[in-house]
Amino acid sequence: MPPARRSLRGITLPEILTTLAILSLAAGLSAAAAHELAGQTSLRAAAHEVASVFTQARGRAIHRGIQCGVKWIARDGDLTLQIHDDGDGDGVRSDDIEGGVDPLVYGPVSVKKRWPKVTVGFIPGFVARDPKGNPVGDLSDPVRFGRSDIASFSPLGDCSPGSVWLGDARSRQSLVRLSPTTATIAIYEWAAARQSWIRIW
């Protein structure tokens, strides 16, 4: 009995176009997902960078038994951080930094240079309350440490209260917060879909 003949037919143009359309759609979705993930990763890394500078200063103060301070400069959507030791026993002060009394021991670290997609500030239209439920207040002031531009840490591990707000200028918001009562350094991310804060560190 002769073998059955197989139908040898090529691929039609509509089939090729359909396949290409599916592949293009899949590639577009993958690129969008990758871009979204990259934005989240950059913002999270920048927040960890800020928190790690504060953590380093706190550890240094405890280990060396001296006051230690993180001087921050917020300008044009960037935040520069640098750690100084107290050189004369009166705490880390701007005039002592300028006079060379309180020496620079680490930095300066520029958030914008390391993480270009991250800004020090709030995302457009941000109206949520902070993690404690308090109003955020002035959106033009993303770095808040009272009247000082130095976050101070004591040999006991105590710290001055303050917050640093970071965003991607689109939809993602993070917050690095120093809490003096518990002497903790925390990072929060705003989950827009759930309308709630998630503590990630």
- Which residue range(s) make up the domain with 176? 35-199
Does 25 reside within a domain?
A: no
Give how far Cα 150 sits from Cα of 61, 71, 78, 137, 153, Å.
Answer: 14, 4, 16, 21, 10
115-125: pLDDT as tens digits: 898 988 999 88
Q: Which helix (H) or strand (E) holds 95?
A: helix 94-98
Number of domains in the chain: 1
Backbone angles phi, psi at 85, to 5 degrees: -90, 150
Mean pLDDT by 10 residues, the chain (201 residues): 59 72 66 46 91 94 95 84 95 94 94 89 90 90 85 91 90 92 88 90 90
Phi-psi region at 38: left, alpha or beta (left = phi > 0; alpha = psi -120 to 50): alpha
Does 183 reside within a domain?
A: yes
130-147: pLDDT as tens digits: 999 999 888 888 888 878
Does 28 reside within a domain?
A: no
Q: What is the CATH number of the domain that holds 44?
A: 3.55.40.10
Sign of the torsion angle spanned by Cα atoms 13, 17, 23, 27: positive
Supply the pLDDT for residue 2: 59
Does 104 reside within a domain?
A: yes
Does 115 reside within a domain?
A: yes
Beta strands (DSSP E) in the chain are 68-75, 78-85, 104-110, 119-120, 143-144, 150-153, 162-167, 173-179, 184-191, 196-199
Supply the pLDDT for residue 190: 93
Does 24 reside within a domain?
A: no
Entry pTM? 0.77
Supply the pLDDT for residue 40: 57
Supply the pLDDT for residue 147: 80
Does 27 reside within a domain?
A: no
Q: What is the number of alpha carbons within 13 Å of residue 98 lying toward its C-beta?
A: 3
Supply the pLDDT for residue 57: 94
Longest dimension (CA), the chain: 105
User: Could you identify the residue written with the tokens 């979705």?
Assistant: 29
Does 171 reside within a domain?
A: yes
Supply the pLDDT for residue 104: 96
Between CA 99 and CA 9 the distance in angstroms is 85
